[in-house]
Amino acid sequence: MERYFWHLNTRQADGMACVVCNADFLNTKITSVPVGRSPADESQVFACKDPCAAVIADEADRMAREMRAAAGTDDEGGADRDDPVFSVDGHFGSLLRDLRTLAGTEALLATSDDIPTIRFLLGLTARHAETAMMRARLVLARTKENGQE
Ligand SMILES: [Zn+2]
C-alpha cells in the first residue's frame, strides 16, 4: 500500500505497534495487517486487523468521497468500471468524469500545502489520468470501428 503514516513513535515506525491504537504486536496475540509505510525509511507499518485497519479504510473512503465531491464527481459509482460490455457513451461519460476529477484535483493541488493531502491528490491524479488514457483509447478504437471502416 502507498499510504504514508506520519507522527509515528519508534515502535509504530518499526512495525511493532499499531499505528492507530499503539497496541503492542510483539507481546499480544492481536492480528495485524500492513496498512502503509513510514515516511522516514519506507518500511511497512501495521494496524490491528480489527478494528483499527477498518478505521483506516473508513477514513480513506471518507477522504476519497470528500475529494470526489470537491471535484464534482461524487456520482461516480465505479460499478460500470468492471463491465466489459458497455457502450461508447458509457466510456465517454466515464472519461468526462475522469477529466473533471483531474481538473478538480488541479485546483486542490494548487491550494494545498499539506504533504499527506498532496500525496493523496497525486495518487488520485495518477489513477484518473491512467483511466482517462485507457478510456480515450477505447473510445478512439470504437469510433474507428464503427465509423471509418
Ligand atoms: Zn490498533
Residue 140 lies in a domain: yes
Residue 3 lies in a domain: no
Q: Which residue has the cell 510483539?
A: 26
Q: For residue range 110-133, what is the model confidence (pLDDT) as tens digits?
A: 888 888 888 888 988 988 888 888
Å from CA of 10 to ligand 1 middle: 15
Q: Give the per-residue pLDDT at 84.
A: 41
Residue 125 lies in a domain: yes
Tally of structural domains, the chain: 2
Å from CA of 9 to ligand 1 middle: 14
Q: Do residue 45 and residue 112 come from a single domain?
A: no
Residue 61 lies in a domain: no
Domain that holds residue 102: 71-148
Compute how many other C-beta atoms are within 10 angstroms of the C-beta atom of residue 128.
21
Å from CA of 7 to ligand 1 middle: 15
Q: Do residue 49 and residue 100 come from a single domain?
A: no
Q: In whole angstroms, how far apart are CA 107 and each of 20, 70, 103, 110? A: 31, 10, 6, 5
Model confidence at 73: pLDDT above 70: no
Strand-pairing partners, residue 48, are 32
Q: Do residue 123 and residue 81 come from a single domain?
A: yes
Q: For residue range 26-64, what is the model confidence (pLDDT) as tens digits?
A: 998 899 999 999 988 889 999 999 899 988 888 888 888
Stretch 13-20: mean pLDDT:
93
